[in-house]
Structure formats: structure tokens, C-alpha cells
């Protein structure tokens, strides 16, 4: 895995179009890159490292041809080397393939292809050799591609070039692939295929989402067929965001830009769903939904949102649990009549999709909470609730997490007997309060104080417990520092042994109820061990009195306070990572959309 782009109809601009598309996909995370150009003979250029190294390699040689395919790789089989980079070719050099996913039976296929010469350690390389064998047997290119794909087991999005053929062939199974339908040009209609829309959004806003098992051929037209070659009618949809939204807009990093985009993202999530005067919430997608039990499935940041959502439902007397999707898919608990809610920013997270599909097989009603219209999870769920955060480029989730928390509030208010009257005013004020916090945060000064600490703890209770987990995750993702989040009461059950005067403890505490009082007690426990304390608080409690530093929060409803606390912790993580000179938008070993289990 990670990023795919292919195009036809771009003529002499093909190579530049591919490289530009790969640069746009850098946010997904990668460790090598390459392109292949078609014609009577294929030209392939690839290099380990950043796209800048690919551009250097391209500058030292003459490459031309059309159509073309490109790839940024995130290593799964074999380290990041020139040989393991995509595209991969067959023995003759007449077939080139790029692939996201994992071919589970590649070792058996490789053994079967023992007369072929392999030059990489990847699972992907079996695909061009399978196609080569079919072509040698007299099979035409498109049927050769189909026959090779039929041999694969696992997950994949595959795009292929064959010498002497003016077409690109592609297909998907459990890994995203989307078409871009461009305008007519002197070189023909510009057509694109990619793992994500931003790869070609500069050229067109018209897209077609492929479903699992579908094949596409792009030449002077686009044709989508099923596995038997029967033509599928597909709708062309319009992407409703501007290509400039995927730029940095003057910010040093995408992550910082997206942190600052949160007020707008929150407004978009609320728009048309909250009646501020009437104090009610109406979400058309959730009409007549009244769950008696809820199971959330999610991974990473989305799992932290799931923990928060489960807490909201339980407070309304509805049994709710949050499950790590990777565990749920392999050991599904009894579902009964529970609603199964899959939370995934991209809508393509492999573990979450597997959990959702298992729940569907067992007859559960399913709901997707996602940012991506047209994603696999949105298409396969019975219902969908879009968080409307807009495109997020930074690998570390920021505005999508805030929008997930807000969307889960709307989900609970729209489907239960929860009183919206108390929460709606706080929801209304949330975007403005977030902006005020961003304008006057002390996070950079705190980061400067503690950027060189060997480890960090984050603690919170109730709604703030998932925020503590997320704060720790954000810091370790982009700073490479050891950070852990805990339910505040759990420190004394083991982790307190790790606390000393070099271990900053970020304590999230809002309100003045019993929960706040208990969290202040936990702050005293770490203070007694000489740990520096950073209180993230609205000062309605005594937390500030026992803290070395305070990150201020405005007073608001407890549900909403979690969103605001999270913004402060995002800024802390960003400024620590920036102070350490980390590649914030592209942290090592991580990918934006994890499409393998």
C-alpha cells in the first residue's frame, strides 16, 4: 500500500501529472515512489525515499509515453528499497503493476512461477508475472489481467499497464479505487484512476467509486464491468470541495492548518441538523432510528471517539460498548438487536470494514460515521452519518476527531430521549469557543518547557478519558516520544511506578462535580511524586491550584468540554513535534488510510 494514480489522455504531460498526483498523495504516508509510462515499450522509474528522489531519478533520464501509472509505497513486504518500490514489472518488461493491499497467497503463486525471475521481496510482484504467463498463452490483455486477478487471495487495488496497449486496467477488493472523469483534451478525454480523490482533484471534480469485484478499463472511454465482464452502469458524482482545500494555505504544516480549520469543520457538521431556537436536533439520515443497544467498532483515533460515544449512550440508559475493530472481527460478541456503528475517517479502514461485514452477516443493522462520501463503509452500511470535516491531509487525525465527537452527540440526541435543551446551546457556541481557544492558547509555551521529557502521561475521567488517550496518541504519532493515556483512577494501580520529576502529567479536568474532585485527587498523587502537572481545565475546580502550568478551557457543557480539551492537546503535540524537527505531516511508519488488516 499506499497511494495509486493512473491517467490516460494527458499526452506529453503524463509523467508530470503522475508525479503531481503522487505529491498530493504524500499525506497518506510512504517510503518509496515510482511511475511507469506506456507505449510500444514500457518505461519504469522508481526510487526509495521521498518523491524528491524520484524526481531526481526522472531528471537523469528521458521518459515518455502514455498512458501512465504511479505509486507511493508504504512497506508491508520487504524494506523500502529501489527494488521493492512500485511499479513492478514482469520478466519481459511488458507488464507493469501498482498495488495496494496484501496478496495472502503470494508465496504459493511465486513457487508456481518458479521459471520467472523475481527482483523484489514484495507480494505484489507475482501479479505482473501472472499476467505475463497469460499473455504468453495467447490471452488478450484485458482477459489476461482478469485471469491473473482471479488467482489472488487477499486485499487489493491493482492498476496495470501492458506494452502496446493504450489502456489502463484496474480492479479492487477491500482497498479503495476511484475514477476521475475529466474533460476532452487534444490528446483525448482525460481519465484518471486513483486510491483517493485528491490525486486528480486538480483536473476534475467528477468521480466514480468502484465497488469490490469491479474492473475498469480506461482508454478513449471508461468502462466498468463485473468479474464476468458484464458492463456495470455507474453514477458519476461531484466532489463538493475545492482543490485548494488540500493546500497548506500558508501554514507550515497540514496538521496545523487542519487544527485551525476545526471551527469551520464543526459548523459544517452542525449545519441543518440543529434547531438553535427550538433546542432540538434533527438528522435526516437517522429518521426512525431508536437503538436499544449499541456496539461501536473502530481503530486508533476513531476508537477513542467510539469510547466517547459509548459513554454518551450509556448515560441515556442504552447499553453501549466500544470495540477495537481488529479484535471484533476475529471474535465477534453476541449482537442481538444492537445497532453496530462503524467509525472511520476514511471509510476504507480494513479492520473496521471487516468488523462491519461480520456484523452485517449476523443480521445487525449498521451505521457508518465517516468523513468520506462514496467510501466503502458508506456504501455497505444500512445508514450513514457524515461528519463533514472536509479533506484531511495530515496523517495524524485532528479536525476529523473533533467532528466525530460532535457527530456522536448529534447521533445520541437524535435517536434517544436525551434532553437536547441543555446541550444545543453548547453545541451552538462550540465553533466560536474553539476559535477563541486557537487564538489564545498557551500550548506552545508548555511544549517549549517539556519538549525534551523522556515520557508523558495523560489522565482524565468519563468524557475526558478518551481525550487523554487521544492526546497521548497524537503526541507519540508525530513526536516519536513515549506517551500514555490513562483513566485517572488507574494511575495508582501500577503506572504510578513510572512517575518521577521528569514525567509531565497532563490532567484534563472540567466542571466542579464529584468526577472533577476525584481527578484533582489524582493530580495530588502525581504532584506528591514531584511530577510536573499541566492542568487542562476550565477552572471550575481546584486543578489549577496543584498544577505547574494551566491550559485554559472555556466553561461549557461537559460533553462539549471534551472537544475543547482535545484542541489544547493537539496543539501541545504539534508544538513538541515541531520543536523536535519531526516530519509532522508524514510521521514514520504510518499511513493515513490503513487498508490492510
Catalytic residues, which ones? 2, 592
The residues facing 3 across adjacent strands are 72
Straight-line distance from the first to the last Cα atom of the chain, in angstroms, rounded to the nearest whole number: 12
In order, the DSSP letters of 64-97 are --SSEEEEEE--SSS-S-TTTSSPEE-SSS-EEE
How far is Cα 539 from Cα 364, in angstroms, rounded to an integer? 44
The per-residue b/e assignment along 348-358, b for 16 or more CB within 10 angstroms, e otherwise, is bbbbbbbbbbb
| Cβ pair 356, 366 in contact under 8 A | yes
Backbone angles phi, psi at 134, to 5 degrees: -65, -40
**Per-residue DSSP letters for 445-510?**
HHHHHHTT-SEEEEEE-TTHHHHHHHHHHHHHHHH--EEEEEEGGGGGGTGGGG--TT--EEEEE-
CB 343 within 8 Å of CB 296: yes
Contact 323, 349 (CB under 8 A): no
Separation between Cα atoms, residue 277 and residue 595, nearest integer Å: 43
Our CA angle for 574, 303, 568, nearest 5°, is 30
Cβ–Cβ < 8 Å for 201, 224: no
C-alpha cell read off for 322 = 466500544
Amino acid at each position: 500500500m499506499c497511494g495509486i494514480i493512473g491517467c490516460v489522455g494527458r499526452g506529453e504531460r503524463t509523467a508530470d501529472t503522475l508525479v503531481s498526483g503522487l505529491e498530493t498523495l504524500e499525506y497518506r504516508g510512504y517510503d518509496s515512489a515510482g511511475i511507469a509510462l506506456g507505449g510500444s515499450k514500457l518505461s519504469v522509474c522508481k526510487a526509495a525515499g521521498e518523491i524528491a528522489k524520484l524526481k531526481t531519478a526522472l531528471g537523469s533520464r528521458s521518459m515518455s509515453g502514455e498512458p501512465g501509472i504511479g505509486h507511493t509505497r508504504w512497506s508491508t513486504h520487504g524494506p523500502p528499497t529501489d527494488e521493492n518500490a512500485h511499479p513492478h514489472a514482469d520478466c519481459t518488461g511488458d507488464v507493469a503493476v501498482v498495488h495496494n493491499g496484501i496478496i495472502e497467497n503470494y508465496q504459493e503463486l511465486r513457487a508456481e512461477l518458479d521459471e520467472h525471475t523475481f527482483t523484489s521481496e514484495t507480494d505484489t510482484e507475482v501479479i505482473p508475472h501472472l499476467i505475463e504467463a497469460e499473455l504468453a498463452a495467447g490471452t488478450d490483455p484485458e482477459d489476461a489481467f482478469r485471469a491473473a486477478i482471479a488467482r489472488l487471495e487477499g486485499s487489493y487495488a491493482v492498476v496495470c499497464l501492458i506494452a502496446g496497449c493504450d489502456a489502463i486496467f484496474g480492479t479492487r477488493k477491500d482497498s479503495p479505487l476511484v475514477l476521475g472523469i475529466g474533460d476532452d483534451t487534444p490528446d483525448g478525454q482525460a481519465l484518471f484512476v486513483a486510491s483517493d480523490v485528491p490525486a486528480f482533484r486538480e483536473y476534475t471534480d467528477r468521480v466514480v467509486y468502484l465497488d469490490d469485484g469491479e474492473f475498469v478499463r480506461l482508454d478513449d472511454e471508461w468502462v466498468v464491468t463485473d468479474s464476468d465482464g458484464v458492463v456495470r452502469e455507474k453514477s458519476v458524482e461531484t466532489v463538493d470541495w475545492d482543490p485548494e482545500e488540500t493546500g497548506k494555505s500558508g501554514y507550515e504544516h497540514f496538521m496545523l492548518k487542519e487544527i485551525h480549520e476545526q471551527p469551520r469543520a464543526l459548523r459544517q457538521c452542525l449545519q441543518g441538523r440543529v434547531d438553535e431556537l427550538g433546542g432540538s436536533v434533527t438528522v435526516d439520515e437517522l429518521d426512525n432510528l431508536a437503538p436499544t443497544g449499541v456496539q461501536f467498532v473502530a481503530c486508533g483515533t476513531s476508537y477513542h471517539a467510539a469510547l466517547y460515544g459509548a459513554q454518551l449512550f450509556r448515560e441515556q440508559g442504552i447499553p453501549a460498548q466500544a470495540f477495537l475493530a481488529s479484535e471484533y472481527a476475529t471474535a465477534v460478541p453476541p449482537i442481538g438487536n444492537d445497532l453496530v456503528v462503524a467509525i472511520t475517517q476514511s471509510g476504507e479502514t480494513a479492520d473496521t470494514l471487516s468488523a462491519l461485514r461480520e456484523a452485517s452477516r449476523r443480521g445487525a443493522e449498521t451505521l457508518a460515521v465517516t468523513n468520506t462520501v462514496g467510501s466503502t463503509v458508506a456504501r455497505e452500511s444500512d445508514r450513514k452519518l457524515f461528519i463533514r470535516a472536509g479533506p484531511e491531509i495530515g496523517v495524524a487525525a485532528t479536525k476529523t476527531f473533533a467532528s466525530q465527537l460532535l457527530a456522536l452527540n448529534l447521533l445520541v440526541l437524535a435517536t434517544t430521549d436525551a434532553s437536547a435543551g441543555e446541550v444545543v446551546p453548547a453545541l451552538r457556541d462550540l465553533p466560536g469557543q474553539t476559535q477563541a481557544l486557537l487564538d489564545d492558547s498557551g500550548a506552545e509555551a508548555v511544549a517549549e518547557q517539556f519538549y525534551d521529557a523522556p515520557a508523558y502521561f495523560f489522565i482524565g475521567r468519563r468524557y475526558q478519558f478518551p481525550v487523554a488517550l487521544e492526546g497521548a496518541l497524537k503526541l507519540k504519532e508525530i513526536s516519536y516520544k513515549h506517551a500514555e493515556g490513562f483513566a485517572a483512577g488507574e494511575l495508582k494501580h501500577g503506572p504510578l511506578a513510572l512517575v518521577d520529576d521528569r514525567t509531565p502529567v497532563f490532567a484534563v479536568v472540567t466542571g466542579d462535580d464529584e468526577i472533577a474532585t476525584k481527578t484533582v485527587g489524582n493530580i495530588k498523587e502525581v504532584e506528591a511524586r514531584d511530577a510536573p502537572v499541566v492542568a487542562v481545565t476550565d477552572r471550575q475546580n481546584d486543578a489549577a491550584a496543584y498544577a505547574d502550568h494551566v491550559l485554559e478551557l472555556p466553561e461549557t457543557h461537559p460533553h462539549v468540554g471534551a472537544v475543547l480539551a482535545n484542541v489544547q492537546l493537539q496543539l501541545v503535540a504539534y508544538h513538541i513535534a515541531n520543536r523536535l524537527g519531526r516530519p509532522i505531516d508524514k510521521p514514520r511508519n504510518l499511513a493515513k488510510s490503513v487498508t490492510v488488516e
